[in-house]
C-alpha cells in the first residue's frame, strides 16, 4: 500500500504523562503505517518546557501561526506538587494559556457521539459545540470587600484627564464590590472566530447574554456580534443556509435543553465555563470531548479536552495495565489532518481522517471499548480492552474500512 503524501507539515505539540504514552501508540499504529506523516515536532513535555524556560511553548505557537494547523497532546499545568516532582526552575504558566494568548483564539468544544452512550438529555441527537470567550469579565476582576458605610464609585479617567463617574452604591454597612472589563478588540476576535467556525462546520450559531439587565456591558457584546455579522458574514451564512441567532441567556438555556443539538453555542467567559461542563457531562464523558482553538486569522490547534490522565500514568509506570480512552486524542489528530488536507487540497488525507473517526466510533459500537466507556455504555457485554489493545482494535476496524 502506498502511503498518503502530505505537502505542509503539521505542528506537532507532544505532551505529558499517559497522553504522551497514547500519543506515540497512536502515531505508530494509526498514522505512520498509512501516511507519510510530515510534522514539525515541539516537545511540550514538562521536562523540556523547563529546560527551555518555556520557550518551546512560545515557538510552537508561533509555528502554528506560520503553518496554520497544529495538533496538541495534553500537558501538565504546574502547581506546587509538580514543582518538586519535576524539580522545576519556575512554576511555568499553563501552555494552553500561553498558546491561546499568542493565537488570540477561541476554544470550541464538541462531544463525540457513539451509539450505546446515550446523552442524559434524551432529545439531543447531534453534538452541541460550545464556543467560550476566553478573555476578561470576572476572570480579570478587581474586588473590594467593603468594610462599612461609604460611597462606591466607578471612575474612568481618559488619557487627557477627563473623567466618567458613576455611583455604584451608597453603603450603609459592610458589603462587596467588583470591577470587571472587556475590550472591543477581544470581543470582535471572539465574534469572528465564532462566525468563521460556523461557516467552516456549516452549523447555526447561537449567542446569548443578559443584555436586558446589563444594558451597556452585555449589550456591547450583542452589538459587536450583530455588526460583524451584518458586515462580514451574513451573505455567506445565507449562501450556506445557516443561521445566526441571538437571544437572552436564560432563553438560550431552555432552548438548548429542548433542542436536537447540531449547532454552536457562543458563550461569554463565565457562561462558557459553567455551560461547557454541563454539556460535556450531559453527553456522557470528558474523554469523548474534542477541543479546537481557532484564531481570528485562520490558525487551528486541535486537542483532546481532557488532561494528562495522571492516575493512569502512575499505574503505567508501576507496570500495571491501563485502560485509557484514546479517542479524543485520535480526534485531535484527525481534526488536524482533515484541516491540513482541506487547506492543501489533498482529498485522500481528508478521507483518511474521516475513515479513522468512523473506525473509532465503529469499534466502540461493536462493543470493544476502554473501561470508563464500558461504565456508561448500554452495550450488553462490552469487551474491555487495555490502552494499546483498544488502539489495535481501532486499527483493525480502520483496515477494514480502507
Ligand atoms: P484529567 O487528566 O482529565 O483526568 C481526570 C480523570 O478523568 C482521570 O483520573 C480519569 O478518571 C478520567 N479521564 C480523563 N481522561 C480520560 C481518558 N482519556 N480515559 C479514561 N479516563 C479519563 O484531569 P486531571 O487529573 O485533573 O489533570 C491531570 C493533569 O492534566 C494536570 O496536571 C492538569 O494540569 C492537566 N490538564 C491538562 C489539560 C490540557 O492540556 N488541555 C486539560 C486539563 C488538565 P479515573 O482516574 O477515575 O479513571
Ligand atoms: Mg470550568
Residues 377 and 326 in one domain: yes
How many domains are there within the chain?
3
Minimum CA distance residue for ligand 1 atom 33: 76
Q: Which of 249, 283, 317 is the last residue of a domain?
A: 283
What local confidence, expressed as pLDDT, does residue 285 receive? Answer: 79
Instruction: Give yes or no for a contact between 245 and 205, defined as CB atoms under 8 angstroms apart.
Output: yes
**Three cell numbers written together for 298:** 485562520
Residue 272 CA to ligand 2 center (angstroms) comes to 8
| Domain region containing 149 | 142-179
d(CA 229, CA 248): 18
Dihedral of the CA atoms 337, 339, 341, 347 (nearest 10)?
A: 110
Q: Do 193 and 277 reside in the same domain of the chain?
A: yes
pLDDT at 243: 97
* HEC secondary structure over 81-116: HHHHHCCCCCCCCCHHHHHHHHHCCEEEEEECCCCC
CATH number of the structural domain spanning residue 231 = 3.40.718.10
pLDDT recorded at residue 46: 98
Dist. CA 190–CA 171, nearest whole Å: 37
Q: How far apart are CA 23 and CA 13, in angstroms?
A: 10
- Rounded CA separation 138/161 (Å): 27
Domain-terminating residue out of 229, 255, 283: 283
Place of cell 487540497: 345
290: in domain: no
Cell of 328: 479524543
Within 10 Å of residue 397's Cβ, how many Cβ atoms? 21
Express each pLDDT in 60-113 by its tens digit: 999 999 999 999 999 999 999 999 999 999 999 999 889 988 887 899 999 999
In a domain, 288, yes or no: no
- Looking at the structure, tell me whether residues 169 and 99 fall in a common domain: no
Q: Does the residue 291 lie in any domain?
A: no
For residue 217, give the 3-state DSSP assignment.
Answer: helix
Do 158 and 263 lie in one domain? The reply is: no
Ligand nearest to the CA of 307: 1
Nearest-5° Cα angle at 277, 45 to 211: 120
Residue 333's pLDDT is: 98
Q: Is the pLDDT of residue 21 over 90?
A: yes
Q: Which residues have CB less than 5 Å away from ligand 2 (the ion)?
A: 273
Q: Is the CB of 75 under 6 A from ligand 1?
A: yes
What is the C-alpha separation between 200 and 302, in angstroms, rounded?
15
What is the predicted pLDDT for the residue at 296?
Answer: 81
In the prediction, which pLDDT does 118 show?
A: 85
Greater confidence (266 vs 134) lies with 266
**Average pLDDT for residues 363-375, to the nearest whole number?**
94
Tell whether ligand 1 has an atom less than 6 A from the beta carbon of residue 77.
Answer: yes
Domain-located, residue 293: no
Q: Quick check: is 289 in a domain?
A: no
- Confidence band for 123, pLDDT divided at 50, 70 and 90: very high
Residue 178 DSSP class:
E
Helix axes 95-103, 55-67, angle to 10 degrees: 40
CA of 147 to the centre of ligand 1 (A): 41
Closest by CA position to 386, among listed 325, 330, 328: 325
pLDDT of residue 101: 83
CA of 206 to the centre of ligand 1 (A): 29
Q: Is the CB of 19 under 6 A from ligand 1?
A: no
- For residue 357, how many other CB atoms are within 10 A of its CB? 20
**Taking the CA atoms of the chain, what radius of gyration do you get in angstroms?**
23
Q: What is the mean pLDDT of residues 198-209?
A: 96
Q: What digits encode the pLDDT tens for the residues 326-364?
A: 999 999 999 999 999 999 999 999 999 999 999 999 999
- d(Cα 46, Cα 22) in Å, to the nearest integer? 16
Which of 307, 310, 327 is the best mutation target for the ligand 1 pocket, counting ligand atoms within 8 Å of the beta carbon and taking the most? Answer: 307
Do the domain assignments include residue 93? yes
Same domain for 188 and 233: yes
Ligand 1 pocket test, candidate residues 100, 288, 309, 329, most atoms within 8 A of CB: 309
Please give the pLDDT value at position 100. 86
How far apart, in Å, do the first and last CA atoms of the chain sit?
Answer: 11
High-pLDDT (> 90) share of the chain, %: 85
Which residue blocks in 259-346 are alpha helix, DSSP H? 269-283, 310-317, 327-344
pLDDT in the model for residue 105: 80
Domain membership of residue 336 (yes or no) is yes
Map residue 360 onto helix, strand or coil. helix
Q: Are residues 198 and 246 in the same domain?
A: yes
**Average pLDDT score, the chain:** 95
CB of 377 sitting under 6 A from ligand 1: no
Q: What is the 3-state secondary structure (H, E, C) of 170-207?
A: EECCCEEEEECCCCHHHHHHHHHHHHHHHHHHCCEEEE
Lowest mean pLDDT, pick from 27-36, 162-171, 277-286:
277-286
Amino acid at each position: 500500500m502506498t502511503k498518503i503524501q502530505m505537502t505542509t507539515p503539521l505542528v506537532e505539540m507532544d505532551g505529558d504523562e499517559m497522553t504522551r504514552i497514547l500519543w506515540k501508540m497512536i502515531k505508530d499504529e494509526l498514522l505512520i503505517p498509512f501516511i507519510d506523516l510530515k510534522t514539525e515536532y515541539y516537545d511540550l513535555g514538562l521536562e523540556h518546557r523547563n529546560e527551555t524556560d518555556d520557550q518551546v511553548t512560545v515557538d510552537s505557537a508561533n509555528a502554528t501561526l506560520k503553518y496554520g494547523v497544529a495538533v496538541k497532546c495534553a500537558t501538565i499545568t504546574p502547581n506546587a506538587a509538580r514543582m518538586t516532582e519535576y524539580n522545576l526552575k519556575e512554576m511555568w504558566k499553563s501552555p494552553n494559556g500561553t498558546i491561546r494568548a499568542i493565537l488570540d483564539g477561541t476554544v470550541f468544544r464538541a462531544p463525540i457521539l457513539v451509539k450505546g452512550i446515550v446523552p442524559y438529555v434524551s432529545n439531543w441527537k447531534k453534538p452541541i459545540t460550545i464556543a467560550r470567550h476566553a478573555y476578561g469579565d470576572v476572570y480579570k476582576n478587581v474586588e473590594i470587600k467593603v468594610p462599612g458605610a461609604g460611597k462606591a464609585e466607578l471612575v474612568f479617567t481618559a488619557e487627557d484627564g477627563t473623567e466618567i463617574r458613576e455611583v455604584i452604591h451608597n453603603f450603609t454597612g459592610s458589603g462587596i464590590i467588583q470591577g470587571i472589563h472587556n475590550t472591543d478588540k477581544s470581543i470582535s476576535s471572539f465574534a469572528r472566530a465564532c462566525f468563521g467556525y460556523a461557516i467552516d462546520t456549516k452549523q447555526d450559531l447561537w449567542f446569548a447574554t443578559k443584555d436586558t439587565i446589563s444594558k451597556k456591558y452585555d449589550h456591547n457584546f450583542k452589538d459587536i456580534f450583530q455588526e460583524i455579522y451584518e458586515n462580514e458574514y451574513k451573505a455567506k451564512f445565507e449562501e450556506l443556509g445557516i443561521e445566526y441567532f441571538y437571544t437572552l441567556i436564560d432563553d438560550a438555556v431552555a432552548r438548548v435543553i429542548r433542542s436536537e443539538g447540531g449547532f454552536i453555542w457562543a458563550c461569554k467567559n463565565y457562561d462558557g465555563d459553567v455551560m461547557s461542563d454541563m454539556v460535556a457531562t450531559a453527553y456522557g464523558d470528558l474523554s469523548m470531548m474534542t477541543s479546537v482553538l481557532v484564531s481570528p486569522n485562520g490558525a487551528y490547534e486541535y486537542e483532546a479536552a481532557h488532561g494528562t490522565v495522571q492516575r493512569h500514568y502512575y499505574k503505567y509506570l508501576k507496570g500495571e495495565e491501563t485502560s485509557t480512552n484514546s479517542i479524543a486524542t485520535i480526534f485531535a489528530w484527525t481534526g488536524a489532518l482533515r484541516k491540513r488536507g482541506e487547506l492543501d487540497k489533498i482529498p485522500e488525507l481528508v478521507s483518511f481522517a474521516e475513515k479513522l473517526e468512523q473506525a473509532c466510533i465503529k469499534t466502540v459500537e461493536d462493543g470493544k471499548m476502554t473501561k470508563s466507556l464500558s461504565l456508561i455504555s448500554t452495550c450488553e457485554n462490552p469487551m474491555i480492552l487495555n490502552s494499546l489493545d483498544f488502539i489495535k482494535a481501532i486499527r483493525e476496524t480502520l483496515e477494514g474500512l480502507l
